[in-house]
Amino acid sequence: MMGMNVNAYFRPSVEWDISFLAPWLRREDKDTIQWMTDMTPYDGLHYSWLNSNESNTIVVNDTVVGMFGVAGQLYNEGCPWLLMSDFLERDIKLHRIFLVESRKWIQQQQQLYTKMFNFVSQTHTQHIKWLEWLGFKVLDLYPEFGPYKKPFLYFEMEGKR
């Protein structure tokens, strides 16, 4: 494995990506979809893709490993989302590249919205750390959020529009 080249990039999502990625989502992402919406992983991904102004797919060595985007645009506000497999946990270098590139992408999105916000399961600590690293602020705890009444955190970032 030493010296192996990794081909990693993101591109606009296509519907097929949803079918491929859904079974491979991280356990925390599957839980978040279910606890927030009572949807299956496939339906949650499909809903996010359909309701996004921009939806992208992360591809590593010709394999779909994640999807992300910004849903909605009510009052120039967007809901960023990211759902992925556990591919980053296996490659430190790829994890660093992901952090740098995701921060650049969020900074670009800030130019398009007056505010970006969403909710994250309080148990999804990896995701919360990433959101804070991107510059989002956790502003509130909803102790009984969604149909399963699980604790969720509300996060947001002011836009620059």
What does the pLDDT read at residue 43?
Answer: 98
pLDDT of residue 1: 43
Residue 140: φ, ψ to 5°: -160, 155
> What is the mean pLDDT for each group of 10 consecutive residues in the chain (161 residues)?
72 97 96 96 96 93 94 84 88 87 93 94 93 95 97 94 80
Helical (H) or strand (E) element with 142: strand 137-145
Quick one: 97 exposed, middle or buried, by C-beta within 10 A (0-12, 13-18, 19+)? Answer: middle
Structure letter (DSSP) for residue 87? G
User: For residue 66, which of 95, 92, 37 has the smallest C-alpha distance?
Assistant: 95
So what's the pLDDT on residue 4?
A: 63
The predicted structure's pLDDT at residue 139? 96
* pLDDT value at residue 161: 80
CA–CA dist 35, 40 (Å, integer): 10
